[in-house]
Amino acid sequence: MNLGLDDAERAFQIDVREFIDAHWPEGAREVGGAMAHPPGRRSVAEQHWYDALCARGWSVPNWPVAHGGTGWTPTQHYIWDRETTRAECPVMSAFGARMLAPVIYAWGSTAQQAKFLPPIREARVQWCQGYSEPGAGSDLASLRTRAVRDGDHYVVNGAKTWTTEAHVADWMFCLVRTNTTTERRQQGISFLLIDMASPGIEVHPILLLGDQHSVNSVTLTDVRVPVANLIGEENHGWTYAKGLLTHERTGIAGIATSQVRLGKLKQMAACEQDGALAEDAVFQRKLQEVEIELMALEMTELRTLATVQEGGAPGPESSILKIKGTELRQRIADLQIEALGYYGLPYPDDLLLGNEGPVGPDGALDSLRRMLYGRAASILGGSNEIQKNIIAKAVLGF
């Protein structure tokens, strides 16, 4: 047992740092932050970053080598994750690269793999996820969007909601009901890929707390989808969707991001005007408690990576990454607002701001937006309460 990097890993770390310095230099970092922008909405620097990733073959490191992945060891993935997060590099949109792609390379046909994987790998296409519906949130299997076969097409009718990036997406991967008479609701669901330019699709923005606009409601009216866009077998979509969820357990904890944010918060608390926070033992204690929990979670993630590295399936400890990771992210965001004191209050609308900048310390508004929007972290992707149900069933055997 040891935590050190070996020579090869250290060399890799240097390689990664040099790559980042060359293609995402300090100057670019404030422009893009860690935001992911769809094609056509990227700054020159951000687009350059993606181009450099593709040229180096590092755009989708976690994919199988046959499809353009890197074949890195879990430790290399860990190094990559930490270094790019620390440098606040742009992140590939998760919908295509991390959520859909594993389904396509596991269950898609050769033709589907050839058609859909390269544009994702090259960050040329924006995907969105059509799962939740007005009546199907945590209880996703109750979804009612209907797809009826008509020759070479499915005709899709229904409504999706909370659809992140739908307003800028080129494609949507979508769960639809193809059979309404099955014994278990999970059995009649299929996994369809839908071109967002298809006639019959309407996208309406939903404005969330602290969010400028990322989620939408989507209505589908007689949308014709080629049968060629069905993944795997009809009525087996639930299996694929679930597989997708269990595939990507590591990395979802956002530990590196939390570490960066906590680091900034500690810095801020240390140099805040009169040092009141630096001397506030109660506040410092809160920071220390978060720091320790974050260390624990990082080790939990490393344990998971180690198991995977040895060729095993992630152990039960991996299931806590999402719950603890989102809790910690939210706690850090809360502490940021606490640290701002009264400057946690101003929330100027961009339109009212005019040419004068926002009031208060740099980044105050971002902190506020992050705290508000960050409440979604424990809701989306299966709320933390649902996650506990899953652990109770899968790990504790209830």
Catalytic positions are: 248
Nearer to other proteins, 239 or 284 (CB): 284
Question: Which residue among 75, 145, 217, 258 contacts other proteins (CB under 8 A)?
Answer: 75
CA dihedral 224, 225, 227, 229 (to 10 degrees): 180
- How distant, in Å, are the alpha carbons of 80, 101, 274, 296 from that of 301? 14, 22, 38, 9
* Stretch of residues binding other proteins (CB under 8 A), selected from 202-210, 212-220, 320-328, 349-357: 320-328
Task: Please give the size of the binding site for other proteins, defined by CB under 8 A.
Answer: 40
Q: Does the footprint of other proteins cover residue 282 (CB under 8 A)? A: no
Question: How far apart (Å, rounded) are the C-alpha atoms in residues 127 and 98?
Answer: 11
Q: Rounded to the nearest whole angstrom, what is the least distance from the CB of residue 183 to other proteins in the complex? A: 22
Q: Rounded to the nearest whole angstrom, what is the least distance from the CB of residue 306 to other proteins in the complex? A: 4
Q: Rounded to the nearest whole angstrom, what is the least distance from the CB of residue 195 to other proteins in the complex? A: 41
Task: Give the per-residue contact string, 373-392, with other proteins (x = CB under 8 A; - = no).
Answer: ------------x--xx-xx
**Could you tell me which residues come within 8 angstroms of residue 344 by beta carbon, excluding any fewer than 6 positions away?**
337, 338, 364, 367, 368
Q: Rounded to the nearest whole angstrom, what is the least distance from the CB of residue 314 to other proteins in the complex? A: 12
Per-residue tokens: 217: 């409601």
Question: Which residue among 40, 57, 263, 316 contacts other proteins (CB under 8 A)?
Answer: 316
Q: Does the footprint of other proteins cover residue 302 (CB under 8 A)? A: yes
Question: How far apart (Å, rounded) are the C-alpha atoms in residues 364 and 346?
Answer: 9
Question: Which residue among 211, 317, 334, 338 contacts other proteins (CB under 8 A)?
Answer: 317
Nearer to other proteins, 187 or 389 (CB): 389
Say how many C-beta atoms besides its own lie within 10 A of residue 58's C-beta.
17
Q: Rounded to the nearest whole angstrom, what is the least distance from the CB of residue 268 to other proteins in the complex? A: 17
Q: Does the footprint of other proteins cover residue 292 (CB under 8 A)? A: yes
**Could you tell me which residues come within 8 angstroms of residue 320 by beta carbon, excluding any fewer than 6 positions away?**
300, 391
Cβ atoms of 217 and 163 closer than 8 Å:
yes
203-224 burial string, b = 16+ CB within 10 Å, else e?
A: beeeebebeeebbbbbbbeebb
Q: Does the footprint of other proteins cover residue 80 (CB under 8 A)? A: no
Closest CA to 163 of 210, 208, 131, 135: 131
Q: Rounded to the nearest whole angstrom, what is the least distance from the CB of residue 255 to other proteins in the complex? A: 12
Q: Does the footprint of other proteins cover residue 82 (CB under 8 A)? A: no
Question: How far apart (Å, rounded) are the C-alpha atoms in residues 367 and 290?
Answer: 17
Question: Which residue among 17, 82, 153, 303 contacts other proteins (CB under 8 A)?
Answer: 303
Using CA of residue 324, residue 132, residue 101, residue 39, what is the dihedral sign?
negative
Question: Which residue among 53, 231, 320, 371 contacts other proteins (CB under 8 A)?
Answer: 320
Q: Rounded to the nearest whole angstrom, what is the least distance from the CB of residue 296 to other proteins in the complex? A: 4
* Stretch of residues binding other proteins (CB under 8 A), selected from 21-29, 190-198, 215-223, 293-301: 293-301
Burial of 162 (0-12, 13-18, 19+ CB in 10 A): buried
* Stretch of residues binding other proteins (CB under 8 A), selected from 15-23, 108-116, 121-129, 300-308: 300-308
For residue 219, the cross-strand partners are 159, 202
For residue 129, the cross-strand partners are 173
Q: Does the footprint of other proteins cover residue 280 (CB under 8 A)? A: no
Question: How far apart (Å, rounded) are the C-alpha atoms in residues 60 and 70?
Answer: 7
Question: Which residue among 135, 310, 334, 364 contacts other proteins (CB under 8 A)?
Answer: 310
The residues binding other proteins (CB under 8 A) are 1-5, 9, 75, 78, 284-285, 288-289, 291-293, 295-300, 302-303, 306-307, 310, 316-317, 320, 323-324, 385, 388-389, 391-392, 395-398
